[in-house]
Every structure is written in structure tokens, then in C-alpha cells.
Chain A
Amino acid sequence: MHGIYGLIDIGISAIRAAQMALMVTGDNIANAENSKFCRRRVIFQEKPPLLSLPILIGRGSEVTNVKRAYSPFLAKQWQQELAGLGYHEVRKEALGRLETIFNEAEGEGLNRDLTAFWNAWEEVSSDPASIVNRYNLINTAKTLAANFQRKSNDLKELREDMNTEVKNVVEQINTIANQIAYLNKKIKSIEIKGVDANNFRDERDELVRELSKLADVTAFEDNGKVTVLVGGVAVVQEESAYTLSVETNSEGFYQVVWYGEGGLKVDITSRLEGGELGSFLEMRDTIIPQYQNDLDRLAYNLVTEINTQHQLGYGLDDSTGNNFFEPLTGIDDAASLIQLDSTIETFPEKIAASSAAGQQGNNENALAIIALKETAITGLSDVTFNDFYLSLVGEVGSASQESQNNFEYQQLVLKEIEASVEAVSGVSLDEEAANLVRFQQMYTASARLISIADDMMKTLINLGT
């Protein structure tokens, strides 16, 4: 309608629009520190003119939608880098714990115990008849064995912890998958009316990001609904969540299993590579076993080499063919099974320092055992016991150092991505302050429009008087 009433209508629409814009601005300000919040933009739309009239003039404005300032491209990158962060964070922390097990910096550790063990043999060699020296050797060997056992135990515990975490993460993934499926439904039902379900989308994006940190996730949106793939299988599709479960394998560790429609079952453990879950699995299945194996190899070869030489020698009681350590059947778990031979422990005179019977002062076998210290051991890739252990410590140290660097780097990468996201989606208080002024002016001007229409009406009414 053209005319004074039309003017009032325009004023009212503009007042409404300004009010809404102010509300959106207020909402932006209120959520400036809300990390999952994307800045909202008001979409103004001109109210269409009446086509029946000869001249087309708009009938004011209305707010048709409130959109999020959001970049799907950055969101994807953010997800990927979060998976990297989750992976490196877990790796850094797990390797940090691993490194504590092998930390020799405080002076305690296998390096010191191995040295003490060889030196106790030196003492025996320098005075083979001395029982005191023999007891000293026994105690040193027991300390050494105990240290092997403790390290082996610590490694097992660490591996167990990683396993428990696998289960925890799978549970978290399930919870989040359910929430995403629910939000898919919610968003669909709102957006069917043609408006954006902004807060639910914020919520869902946040959940996808949380999920990305937990596992290497592929998420894509189709028709307002997000499909989420973990390890190639869909944990969320349309409005349903397909949860993951864990099943204990023959070694007592959890396998991650997916159940789909119609009883379909897929073991996805080997496909999980990124995120916290991938990292926990890698630590559990690859990295820790490798160090366990190294430690076991060291223990096994030490026991075997020493026993072989020890059997050749003679004790003070002329006994021969004795073992020094309890013999081991294989490398498997050697570090936790290493133990001083029980006979030697009770009868120190059986320690075979001599190379012949009846020679109390003969120390040749003790010297032969000490010579093993500097011998390259075939079972240890042709390095000495000490060097093998040192390279083990070195490897742990480098791996830990590398993981710290990777984590720091990943944090930097993430910081950059987050800054880019923030540049698009973040709330700038300066900007909002300016918007406040703008929309307030709009409000004032619109109100002015109505008051002018009022004046005009008065003028009209008072024409006759």
C-alpha cells in the first residue's frame, strides 16, 4: 500500500529488523568468549513491493535468516589437524612415560646395575677364594635381575594402560556419535522450515572436532546431515549412530569392532591410524612391544651367555656345570623371568671362578665371564650388552624428543588454523560495538519514520480546522 500507512508499515518493519539485528549483535557479544560459537550475521531482505501498483517500491525490510560466519574448508582442515594433535599428544605423553622407565639420568638404572654386576665379577676374579666377594656378586646379580623385572613390569603396565585407554576412547566416540546422530535429526527438523539451526550446528561442529581429536575421522555434510566415518566405517549416518565396541583378543587386548546393519561385523583395529585412538593402538601394538622385545633380548642373552661360560668353570667346592642364572627357554618375557640360580644363591662357593677343579686361586673362568662384557653378542645384533642397552636408552630418548617436537609443531599448526577460523568465525567486540551503533541508528531512524508519518497524518487531519 502506498501512502502514509505504507510509510508506517515500512517504519515498523525496519524497527523489527533493527531490533532483531540488535538481538543478534547482543547474542554475538554474549558469546564472544564461547569457543564453539560462530559469529552470526543478519540477513536483511527487502519486503517485495506490491506488483499491482505501477511503480515498484519496496515495503520495508525483514530479517529472513541469521547465518553463521563459517568456512567449511577451514573446518575440514581444522578437523585434520586436530587428529594430528590428538595423535601427537598421546604419543608425546606415552613416550614420556616410556622414557621415565628408561631414565638413567638420576644415576639409577640398568646401566649402573650392569656395571656393578661386571665389577662384582672383577672383585671375585681378584680374590676368587673370598666368600665376601662371592656374596657381593650374588647381591649385585639379584639387584640386576630385580631391575630387569621392574622395567619389564613397568612396560607391561604402560601397555595395559594404553589398552584401557583404547576402551575409554571407543566409549567417548560412541557417546559423541550418538549426540551427532541426534543433532542430525534436530537440525533437519528445524531447517526444513528454511532457517539455519545455528546453535545446533555449532554444537555439532564442536562434536565433530572432538571426535576428530579422538580418531582419524572423515565427516561430510549431505543435505544438512553429517555422515561420520571412522576407519572406513560409518559411525554416524543420517539419523543413526552405529557404535563401536571392543572385543578381547587372544593376547588379552581390545580389538575395535564395528557392528552395522543386519549383524554386519568389521574389525577396524588395523585401520585406525590417526587421532588419540590410533596413537594408543600404535603404542600398544608396535612401539611398546618393540622396547619390551629389546629388553627381553638383553636379559635372555645375558642369562644364556653367562650360563654357558659359567657351566665351563668350577666352584670352590669343585662342582661344575652349574648355571649362574635360572636358565630361560626363550626371549619371550625374559626380562621378567630373569633370576639368579637358586643353588648359587644358597651356595656362593659354587660360583665358578676357576677353570679347573681344586684350584682355589684360579680365576680364569671369572676372567672369561668378565670378557663377555666387551664381547659383541650375536643375539644382540653384534654389539656388547652395555652398548645394546645404551642404544636402547638413546632410542627411547630420541623417540621421546621427536614426539615432543612433533607435538609442539602440531600445536603451532593448529594455532594457525584456529587463528584462520577465528578470523572468519570469531566475534570482534570492536565490530560488534560498531554494529550496535549502526543498528541503533537504524532503529532511531525507523522510529523517526513513524513519527514523520504521524506528523503527516496530523497535518492531513487538521486540514479542515
Chain B
Amino acid sequence: MRVTHHMLYRNFLFHLEHINENLKKDFEKIASGKKILRPSDDPFGMAKSLTYQRKLADIEQYKRNIKRAISWQNITEMALQEMTNLLVEAKEIAISQGSDTATSETRAMLAAHIEKLKEHALQIGNTKLGDQYVFAGYLTSTQPFVDTDNNYHGDNGQIKVNISSYMQLSFNIPGSIFTNGTNIFQALDDLKTALETNDADSIRNLIGTLDQAIKQVIVAHASLGSIMNRFEAVKTDLTSYSVELTAHLSETEDSDMAKVASSLATHQIIYQSTLAGMAKIMQFNLFNYLG
């Protein structure tokens, strides 16, 4: 093959351009810290990294959902605890006033105390988070308990949130647990009436009713506790999943600095030797040797 100077020169330029492009790519990877800067750099990796990014954003959202559910549940739990304490106190009053040592005076005095407890029980039933009633089911803007009747005015709506892409959990407890089975408010009213009328038999009978009521609240409390545990467990899972995803994401899209740096060094050496080689070759032709 005839090799002309022009050919050498063009060849040189072609390769130089190629090397420059590689240098540019290496530099981009170093400067940005990413190995995928546009979809064509690695279409498959790009799709993967976008999926990871989306999942990470989802996890952050699920964690926020869980946070809100847990704060709702914390309020609920405090209310249930208070309700239990209140009922235990009522029961103790019933026990002491059901005995024959109690007198009509003590009973009348404690009837007033029971009335206070009833008011408190209503307050507990109407506990709010922000401006929403936590014991009203879906009817979060409706006051679930009023002092004119002892009925539940909420519904049995179970408010659910997404806590992962395939799991929903409800976090609220409808106020019907205070009225279904044993009606706590009715029981307190009955106790008050029995104390006022000095009816020892009725008072003694109410001890059992109050026991039932306490059991009812404790059962609800326990089931709430187990749901809260599930929320916490999922939150922990999400956190570790998120760490894992972040690692995958980084592996997919972040530059391997050691690799890129050595590639850059290699390309620099190639660049320099190409320049040096060309400078040598271009100096020579036959004219140098003709008189």
C-alpha cells in the first residue's frame, strides 16, 4: 500500500480525536462522580437507577405515613391508658361503696366524684389529634361522644395507610370499643345513680360490669400495641431496605473512582505517546536528505 503523509496525518488526527473523547468521558465521570450521565451511557443501568430512585422516594413516603400513624397511635394509646386508670378507680369506688361499711353520706359524696369521672371519660373519648377526633372512625370531624346520650356518634371506619407497596395497615380504633359490649359511659351513669340512691346491691352488681369494661379497654389497648409493633417493625425493615437500595443505586450510577482515575492515566499516556510519535514521524521525508 502506498502510504502518504496525508494519510499519516489524518490517521493521527482520527486517533487523537478518539483519545480526546475517552479523556473527556473519564473527566466527566470524575467531575460528576457518576458513570451514567445520560441514558445512552448505559440504558439498562439508567432504568435500574431510576427504579432505585423511585423506590427510595417511596420508602421515604412510607416512613412519613408510618410516622403519622404512630403519632396517632401514641395519642390513642395514652387515651386508652387513661381510660383504664379511670375505670379502675371507678371499680375501686364500687368495691368500697358496695360494702356494708359504706354509708349514704360517703356514697353521695362519691357519686359526685363519679360524675367527674364520667366527664373525664367523655373527654377521653373525644381525644383529638390536631383538629381530628381519633375515636370517630372516618367521621374525624364529628364529636363521637356527647353528654346528652351515651351513644357513639362516629362510625367503624378503619383508616388505612400504605406502609409498603403491597401492604396497608389501619391505625385508628373506632370509639365503639367504649360502647359496644359494655357501654362504659352508661356503666358510670348507672354507678352514679346507684350511689345517689344508696342502692348497695346495684353497686355490687356494677363491679362486674366495670370489670368487663376494663377488660374491653385492655383488649383494645393490647391489639393497638400489636399493630404499633407492626408499624415499628415495618419502619425498621424500610430503613434497612433503604440502606440496601442506596448501596445498589450508588453501585449502579456512581463512578468507581479508582477505576476511572487509572483509566484517565492510561489515556493520558496514550495521548502523550501519540503526540510524541507523530511529532517524530512528521519530521522526516526525502527532502531532508536531498542536497
Chain A interface residues (CB < 8 Å from chain B): 32-33, 35, 95-96, 99-100, 102-105, 107, 111-112, 114-116, 118-119, 122-123, 125-127, 129, 354, 356, 358-364, 367, 370, 374, 386, 390-391, 393-398, 400-401, 404, 411, 415, 418-419, 422-424, 426-431, 433-434, 436-437
Contact = CB atoms under 8 A, between A and B. Distances in A.
Contacts of A390: 47, 50-51
A105 B29 CA distance: 13
Contact of A105 (B37, B51, B65): B37
B138 A362 contact: yes
Interface of B: 1-7, 10-11, 14, 34, 36-44, 46-47, 49-51, 53-54, 57-58, 60-62, 64-65, 68-69, 131-132, 136-142, 155, 157, 159-162, 165-166, 168, 172, 253, 285-287, 290
B46 A363 contact: no
B54 A115 contact: yes
A119 B142 CA distance: 28
Q: Chain A at the B interface: mostly helix, strand, loop or mixed?
A: helix
Given A99-B40, A361-B139, 20 more contacts: A95-B40, A104-B39, A114-B54, A123-B64, A126-B64, A126-B65, A129-B132, A361-B136, A361-B172, A363-B161, A390-B51, A394-B43, A394-B46, A396-B39, A401-B39, A415-B14, A422-B6, A427-B5, A434-B286, A436-B290
B73 to A, nearest CB: 13
A361 B132 contact: yes
A2 to B, nearest CB: 38
B161 A125 contact: yes
Contacts of B3: 423, 428
Given A99-B38, A423-B3, A429-B5, A126 B138 contact: no
Contacts of B166: 374
A398 B42 CA distance: 8
Nearest to B17: A411
Contacts, number: 184
A354 B138 contact: yes
Given A394-B46, A428-B2, A126 B68 contact: yes
21 contacts: A104-B46, A105-B34, A105-B46, A105-B253, A112-B53, A126-B68, A126-B69, A360-B132, A361-B139, A362-B159, A390-B50, A390-B51, A394-B39, A394-B43, A398-B43, A401-B41, A419-B1, A426-B2, A429-B4, A429-B285, A436-B290
A364 B159 CA distance: 8
